[in-house]
Structure 1
Amino acid sequence: MTVRYQRICAWAGPFCAFLWIIALLVFAGFLPPHDPQAGADEIARIYADNPLGIRIGLVILLIGGVLYQPWVAVIAVQMKRIEGRQSPLTYVQLGLGTLFVLLFVLAAIFWEVAAFRPLEAPVLTQRFNDLGWFMFLVSVPIITVQGLALSLVVFQDRDGALFPRWFAWFNIWAQIIFLPGTLIPLFKSGPLAWNGLFAFWIPAGVYTVWMCLLTALLLRAIAAPDPVNMRPDGQLR
């Protein structure tokens, strides 16, 4: 049953990403992202023209955000198999992944507030829309440190019993690709704006590949026996 639950948690990652795409693309129409230079009246009209679709989409987005937590939890379980009883990096990854869930949920809530009464105060609608995009995309350092913690643990498993060593390097590269999102508050146009090539589209593509690849490796690790170089006290030799 434990293995079965771990597999369910591993599949929760791609499923939550699928829900994000359905929510933002199909229902809310938030892909491509809103223009950061759009005025308050324009943003308010976007929300007013599709009130039901946006509200349903954001409910789906909220559910998808919560489902990120089981995925983070099963990553922690596999990391702890490598780190053993003394596992600070495992808890770093788990804690930051949990924080990301909270920020993701808050982004959905901010957008829901914007969609609730979009035309009564267009400036407030615009501000809550901004808050949603900032919360959704600017919190990149959380993912970066979470990913670095995973890579450092994978490097400890020299035999690659649970995760191959090359994935640790790929993971570091992916975190570097995500970092331009931290510069979003400095730009309203161009490749580093929240709808830009370097701040959104390339990181979004890499994130999709990273999540699918990590899920496949998680399923492999779940089925694998403990590393042969593990001591009886749970530490790697």
Structure 2
Amino acid sequence: MSAVASELAAPPASLVGRIGWHWKHNPKIELWIMWWAMVCFYQLFGVVFALMTRVMPPPAPWWDQARIVQWFNDNHYGLLWGFGIIFLVAGITASMNALIAYSMTRMSVSRAFSYIYVAIYSLATLPGMLLTAIFLTVGALRPDRDPAVISWLYDASFTAFVGTMGVFLIGTSVWMLAVLLDKNRVFPLWFAYLNICNLLTEIVVAPMWIFKEGPFAWNGIIAFWVDTLVFVVYTIAFITLLRRLIVREDFGDGPLPELEQRT
């Protein structure tokens, strides 16, 4: 092996050197960037929505106007700073959708699946995250608004966050069908069945537009807690499987090599 080939075969020992080497020579660098962006986004999403803004778990839907106004006052700075971060990093969802769409292009199914998925989940970002951020930010910016308006913003934000799951259901169905029809076995069949579990939870949240208390309210055991548990398992599963895909990737158009065959 020549000296040049030997230099390209192994990255330097230092951290900065390894990063630079992979940036220049690793053919999978774009895939890894998108994968790490996905991991970082979900970590940040959890911190913002659960710890900073107190949106997860959601507060009660039966509160009166005075209690809702008090909730905005109690979480004023958390809402502003937390959703300010979300507005800055929301574009990362595009790279996440792109990586999942890329996985579909490695399947034996039509590329229409990947295009439909990107279109659906690009739209899903609005009701699933941004509308909630916009409504609650508007309420926090003007605490002196009419309590009736604050109450409306409160209702609109949490019904958008928990209840508008139609676009997610369609996107999950597209991914499920792609996995079931794929002959290249990019993802295992059990992941298709996990997609079914995820889309079923998005069906059972529909009654939260009606109920103010009980298991089907937006903070109920079924509409929120069971739904969230399934989504967390689902998210961990597809992040792990996408990492496995990148490790196995050989940039061919057939089945991916098995992990044990890779060095």
What range is the shorter-chain TM-score in? 0.7 to 0.9
Instruction: Name the SS of the counterpart of 2:187 in structure 1.
Output: coil
Inter-partner Cα distance in structure 2 for 1:206 and 1:63:
28
> What percentage of aligned pairs have identical amino acids?
26
Q: CA deviation at 1:68?
A: 2.2
Among residues 183, 191, 202, which one is paired with 2:207 in the alignment?
A: 183
Instruction: Name the SS of the counterpart of 1:171 in structure 2.
Output: helix
TM value normalised by structure 2: 0.80
Is 1:3 aligned to 2:28, yes or no?
A: yes
Match of 1:115 in 2: 140
**Structure 2 residue runs without a partner (length 5+):** 1-25, 257-263
Is 1:126 aligned to 2:151, yes or no?
A: yes
Is 1:157 aligned to 2:182, yes or no?
A: yes
Inter-partner Cα distance in structure 1 for 2:126 and 2:154:
17
Is 1:171 aligned to 2:191, yes or no?
A: no
Q: 1:132 to 1:83 in 2, by over 3 A?
A: farther
Inter-partner Cα distance in structure 2 for 1:33 and 1:168:
29
- CA distances 1:190-225 after superposition (whole Å, capped 9, x unpaired): 111110111111111111111111011112122333
Match of 1:15 in 2: 40
Is 1:194 aligned to 2:218, yes or no?
A: yes
Counterparts of residues 42-61 of structure 1 (less than 5 Å): 42-61=67-86
Counterpart amino acid of residue 99 in structure 1: L
Instruction: Name the SS of the counterpart of 1:82 in structure 2.
Output: coil
Inter-partner Cα distance in structure 2 for 1:196 and 1:151:
27
Counterparts of residues 85-100 of structure 1 (less than 5 Å): 86-100=110-124
Radius of gyration: which is bigger? 2
**Structure 1 residue runs without a partner (length 5+):** 231-237
Instruction: Name the SS of the counterpart of 1:110 in structure 2.
Output: helix
Which one scores higher on RCO, CA 8 angstroms, separation ≥ 6? 1
Q: Which runs of 4+ in 1 moved over 6 A?
A: none
Counterpart amino acid of residue 181 in structure 2: Q
Match of 1:71 in 2: 96
Inter-partner Cα distance in structure 1 for 2:160 and 2:233:
22
Pick which of 35-44 and 175-184 moved more: 175-184
Pick which of 150-159 and 31-40 moved more: 150-159
RMSD between superposed Cα atoms in Å: 2.0
Counterpart amino acid of residue 207 in structure 2: L
Q: 1:31 to 1:150 in 2, by over 3 A?
A: closer
Match of 1:102 in 2: 126
Match of 1:208 in 2: 232
Aligned residues: 228
Match of 1:234 in 2: none
